[in-house]
Amino acid sequence: MSLVKVHSFFTEFDIELFKAGKHFKLYEKMGAHPMVLDGEEGVYFAVWAPSASSVQVIGDFNFWDASQHELNVRWDASGIWEGFIPKVKKGTRYKYKITSNHNGSVSEKIDPYALFFETPPNTAGIIWDISDYKWKDKNWMSYRKDKNDLDKPYSVYEVHIGSWQRNSDGTFLSYTELAKKLVAYVKEMNFTHIEFMPVMEYPYDPSWGYQLVGYFAPSSRFGAPQDFMKLIDAFHQNDIGVILDWVPSHFPEDKHGLGMYDGTHLYEHPDPKKGFHPDWKSLIFNYERNEVRSFLISNAFFWLEYYHVDALRVDAVASMLYLDYSREEGEWDPNEFGGNENLAAVSFLKDFNTAVYSNFNGIQTIAEESTAFSGVTRSVELGGLGFGMKWMMGWMHDTLQYFSKDPVYRKHHQNDITFSLTYAFTENFMLPLSHDEVVHGKNSILSKQSGDEWQRFANLRLLYGYMFTHPGTKLLFMGGEFGQYAEWDFSKSLDWNLLDFLPHKGMLEFVKNLNTFYKSTPALYEKAFSPEGFEWISYSDEQNSVIAYIRKGHDRKNDVIVVCNFTPSLHQNYRLGVPRQGVLTEIFNSDQNQFGGAGNMNTGDLKIENIDSHGKTQSVVLTLPPLAMAAFQIK
């Protein structure tokens, strides 16, 4: 006999929105909600399983006996099963036992809206309530737009929580411990934002979180949901924005997860040409199904609303956009117009961006999109996808390839380091040196550099200096800030012991100072996405492997002249054209002694002379330190 009380919190309008793909707060109705109903404590459950013949709640409260608590299916053909079970309490483990009307299969499934899970490899959900957390970031939320907008400094530290730092016995740091250690570190290093690789519950550690199952639950590996809130809160109280990696592109086939949820292809597309990813052996969401669109956009809303997240970096966008992504001929079918675009996914991404930007003030969405798909950061109204930013993968590839070359050959590859400026303003680009570039035999960023040890560190400082003065926002993966030698290994801590050695300590000091320089120099960010913010002085001095350019902000008096010397040769008496009269002052130099450099500086005021050079009617004589970036202003 069922002990479930018939009760519903869904209105007809809720169902209408759900079916139309326009219900963006499903988490308020779906899932498991502790409450008092008719004077009785218990939990209201609601789950979508349209092809089920029965849905039973099993858990600690009924000794996992499916015969006791069967949910009631709604009368309106929505496929939602629901009901109130008395006396169930917060902290109780549970799952759904679903019998399929389609093929008679019986499976034990997670609640797709569960807020908390057992620690893997255990898979049950845990009844939880997150409404009791008292946020202390009111100030941040009130001025977030001023910190998070596209004309503000954006320097992102990308972190994998499980391997940033570990306890001495190899166990994970908790969210609570990270709220002290990681927040203090990111603040000391002067980054403006932190980006977490996926924190949503995932079963398999080697997936780094990108094969996730519990879309509404931060991983219990590191603590409870409120502990993760506390971590975000701590960042906000220290004026640091929080970006979450979000994965609406695919999900794993684990039996307890979303795949074949009610015995049918409910969340994944039924056609394997659209519903199965050959590279990742994972399932692809069915963007043609409105209820799935409601689920995914609700998930984005959930993290933005309940966890005060400031930006979502959307993973693997290219795999969503193209029907032939990573597929050979015959493994995909063209769309109705004969093209290779996944029109449903394009429509979904437009709906997602329109919805989140319309409902949350001061947030950003960032696309990890590796192709030349047009208009990723163009507004939806103008035919674009509506993202705030897009990763500049071409810049990353060309730059790392250039820096891996011995400087003696760089004069033959000048175009590799200048080509990015031919398309730098076609999108709102973020320059990424991400986790993807330091795994699977690619070597760490430091190990990619050419030359002996001194030259490798000098090259790395130059690379970062060039990166931070190039148009666009910045992202640096953990370990890169102190020059980790080894590739990233998700199963252990970064090599913090390297900071006992001067070159690594100097690199850390350099990145700290570079962030300060970037944040305090409006010319480097106010027009980061506009051609008005950049001007070449010299891009064709291949013989010396030197480039020079001007970065411009709103106040032209604060323009910054940047010069990069990509050779280990000290260039003395190097004449450079400058845009106006005055005196030139060096404001930053990657060759400073405190950074591990050789200390070749341009000291004092440098006289600007009426001598033509580089198309300018005035010029100045500089010392260009080896393998270094130097920045100047005219007074």
Question: Which residue, 605, 617, 537, is CA-closest to 581?
Answer: 617
DSSP conformation class of 166: B
DSSP conformation class of 3: -
Both tokens of residue 41? 């404590």
**308 torsion bin: left (phi>0), alpha (psi -120 to 50), beta (else):** left
Query: Catalytic positions, please?
Result: 315, 368
**How many beta carbons lie within 10 A of that of residue 145, not counting itself?**
13
Question: Which residue, 528, 526, 580, 534, is CA-closest to 557?
Answer: 580
Q: 3-class DSSP state for residue 21?
A: coil
3-state SS track over 495-506:
CHHHHHCHHHHH
Both tokens of residue 457? 């560190």
Residue 266 has φ and ψ, to the nearest 5°, of -85, -55
Cα 477 to Cα 161, 358, 381, 474, 574: the distances in Å are 12, 30, 34, 10, 35
Q: Where are the beta strands (DSSP E) in 50-116?
A: 52-59, 72-73, 80-86, 93-100, 106-109
Question: Which residue, 314, 144, 124, is CA-closest to 213?
Answer: 124
- In which element (H, E) is residue 391 found? strand 389-391
Give the angle 541-391-148 at the CA atoms, nearest 5°: 105
